[in-house]
Amino acid sequence: MKFALFLSSALVAIVPALAYSSTQAGLFAQDHFTGPYVHSNGDGSCITTPAGVINSVELIPGMTCQLYREPSCAQEAIPLKRDSASLRYDIGAPARSARCLK
């Protein structure tokens, strides 16, 4: 009985995590997908992390993000079409905001 309760609790915790990974992008404040992050559902709204900087981006297939060096999605966009474990390495500097689209 206790094992069944444990197993059902584990499934309740795992299923939402799987749903996130298949429907949203993650914008992380630190390199290698660590630190504070926010989810983007691909609606094109301007977002940033709680730390105010984006150092790594994890995208679902078919999603792209426009990265900006200004906090309000201002100035020229830098397109990103694949995961980036380190924006510092891939585009030369971290981003301050992003717009992601499905």
Convert the pLDDT of each residue in 2-40 to its tens digit.
Answer: 555 444 554 444 444 444 455 689 999 999 999 889 999
pTM metric for this prediction:
0.73
pLDDT at 2 (0 to 100): 58
Alpha-carbon dihedral angle through residues 22, 25, 29, 33, given to the nearest 10 degrees: 40
Residues paired with residue 65 on neighbouring β-strands, in sequence order = 80, 100
User: Can you tell me whether residue 1 is helix, strand or coil?
Assistant: coil
pLDDT per position as a tens digit, 51-82:
999 999 999 988 999 999 999 998 899 999 99
Q: What is the CATH number of domain 2-101?
A: 2.60.20.10
pLDDT for position 14 = 44
Tokens of 38: 């926010």
Enumerate the β-bridge partners of residue 56.
28
Contacts of 62 (CB under 8 A, 6+ apart): 102
